[in-house]
Amino acid sequence: MKKHIHIFGASGSGTTTIAEKVCEHTGYSHFDSDSYFWLPTQDPFTVSRRYEDYAALMDRDLNSSPHWVLSGSVTGWYDELASVFDLVVFVHVPADIRIERLKRREAERYGDAILPGNSRHHASAEFIEWASSYDSGRRSGRSLAKHEAWLKTVTCPVLRIENLDLDRSVESILQAMKCNW
């Protein structure tokens, strides 16, 4: 059985939700990369930690549990972690579905603050624009091309999930975790 699973994809692809469900089925610990990369500030997801800080926090937590699932992308900011993965799961969801999910999530998190003229409007619009550019790679940060390039360097098995519903995604991962590839 695979013990160290990394589930990643574009923002809004569902990696956190999928990871939580996999952990419910397996009893594995769940860790999310955003909780390490970003400082917990009044305005979340705006100030990143220094490499030394997020690496130490993540290493501490991952080493504290024999079986875990890490959701969210670490490509480009903690690539060294790839050597400990037993299975990498790449989740790809069409842009229109991801963007709709992200808009809903922004509204749930911030409410009226994202409306025009309010305190989070600009930040939310910028985030949606950044996330919209994932497939084309026209903005900095995560992109499909960067993820595909990173996948070519991974030495463990890779499972690709293409727009499956939640239950089928989880079942695919649970089956892959049992395989001796």
Dist CA 30 CA 100 (whole Å): 25
39 lies in which domain range? 4-94+143-178
| 36 within domain boundaries | yes
The predicted-structure confidence for 109-142, as pLDDT tens digits, reads as follows 999 999 999 999 999 999 999 999 999 978 777 8
Our count of domains for the chain comes to: 1
Within a domain: 46:
yes
CB atoms within 10 A of CB 122: 12
The answer to the question of residue 114 being in a domain is no
pLDDT digits (tens, 9 = 90+) for 156-165: 999 999 978 9
- Is the pLDDT confidence value at 181 over 70? no
Residues 156 and 81 sit within 8 Å (Cβ to Cβ): no
Task: Indicate which CATH number applies to the domain containing 75.
Answer: 3.40.50.300
Q: Which two tokens stand for residue 132?
A: 């919209």
Q: How far apart are CA 117 and CA 58, in angstroms?
A: 37
Whether 123 maps to a domain, the answer reads: no
**pTM for the complete prediction?**
0.91
**Are 159 and 88 within 8 A, CB to CB?**
yes
The answer as to whether 50 is a domain residue is yes
